[in-house]
Amino acid sequence: MSCNLEEKQYLDLIKNIIENGCLEEGRNGNTLSTFGASLRFSLKDGKIPIITTKKTAWKTCLKELLWFISGNTDTKILQEKGVHIWDGNTSREFLDSRNLNDYPEGMIGPSYGYQWRSFGANYNCSTGKPFEKGIDQLQYIIDQLKDCKTRNSRRLVMTAWNPTQLDEMALPPCHILCQFHVHNTNQLSCSMYQRSNDECCGTPFNIASYSFLTHLLAKHCGLEAYEFVYFKGNCHIYEEHIEGAKLQMNREPFPFPILNIKEMRENINDYQIQDFEINNYQYHETIYYKMVA
């Protein structure tokens, strides 16, 4: 088995949190936590960093990403596709705890994809759509990347953190800002900053999701995916995840799989999960981490 040093970064982070983390009582339970970390993952030659030391539900992750890209905020669309990762944070009880009593169950508010596609627009909580046109940050980045004169801009930034609308969101976003950059005329990299990192449930999804996004934008804009750089704020392991994390950190990772996006669509909204093909994904058996809402 060849040594996967990139996944080792993640396992070393887990080990450091368990050995050196501070015990903290938070909004939704006790955690061991540290502050500040960074990880780098190559995306060259189609490589996609899907964590191998436990089975990672990459299709669920990709369905959520395509939902973000659509700008939609109604989780019933995800539920119809068999994705239930948002159920706890959009239940009637949870929404009411956020004083979002007028929201139908299942609405996340103006978060994530809404800010990507309609930044700053007033939110209609009944329909989950903007009242007026906002700033389409994602389309702006696509337009810049497609133009050889602008693709090396240092301003290709997309943010989900909108302080004026945080109280309208079921959950303020955890992964809050990303930046795209082109090296050597055609090599596309992405860096992402995340304020809050659930290392066992969330981080494998976040790594895969932004790597998928980088590969997708590279394909869509005629570039080559190069690297995903991950900057992390509060890195935590929930108390109930510690035993599983100890098991996972002692597993030897497999090589990462290869992604093939089978065709280029005309519009970024047109991609479907069937367009993505994963080859040679080897993984250790599932570790069941309960998601903490």
CA distances from 221 to 32, 141, 171, 182, 258 (A): 41, 10, 32, 11, 20
**Is 174 an active-site residue?**
yes
Domains, the chain: 5-279 (3.30.572.10)
Q: What is the gyration radius of the CA atoms in the chain, in angstroms?
A: 19
pLDDT digits (tens, 9 = 90+) for 56-90: 999 999 999 999 999 999 999 999 999 999 999 99
Instruction: Tell me how far apart the alpha carbons of residues 278 and 58 are, in angstroms, rounded to a whole number.
Output: 9
Instruction: Tell me how far apart the alpha carbons of residues 146 and 54 are, in angstroms, rounded to a whole number.
Output: 37
In this prediction, residue 1 carries a pLDDT of: 46
Instruction: Tell me how far apart the alpha carbons of residues 123 and 112 are, in angstroms, rounded to a whole number.
Output: 13
pLDDT digits (tens, 9 = 90+) for 137-184: 999 999 999 999 999 999 999 999 999 999 999 999 999 999 999 999
In this prediction, residue 117 carries a pLDDT of: 98
Q: pTM for this structure?
A: 0.96
Instruction: Tell me how far apart the alpha carbons of residues 37 and 120 are, in angstroms, rounded to a whole number.
Output: 30
- pLDDT by 10-residue block (mean), the chain, 293 residues: 85 97 87 97 98 96 97 96 93 95 96 97 95 97 97 97 97 97 97 97 96 98 98 96 94 97 95 97 91 70
In this prediction, residue 293 carries a pLDDT of: 61
How would you label 240-259 residue by residue, b for 16+ Cβ within 10 Å and e otherwise? ebbebbeebbebebbbbbeb
Catalytic residue among 174, 200, 221, 235: 174
For 136, the token pair is: 């389409």
List, in sequence order, the alpha helices (H) in 5-132: 5-20, 58-70, 76-80, 92-97, 113-118
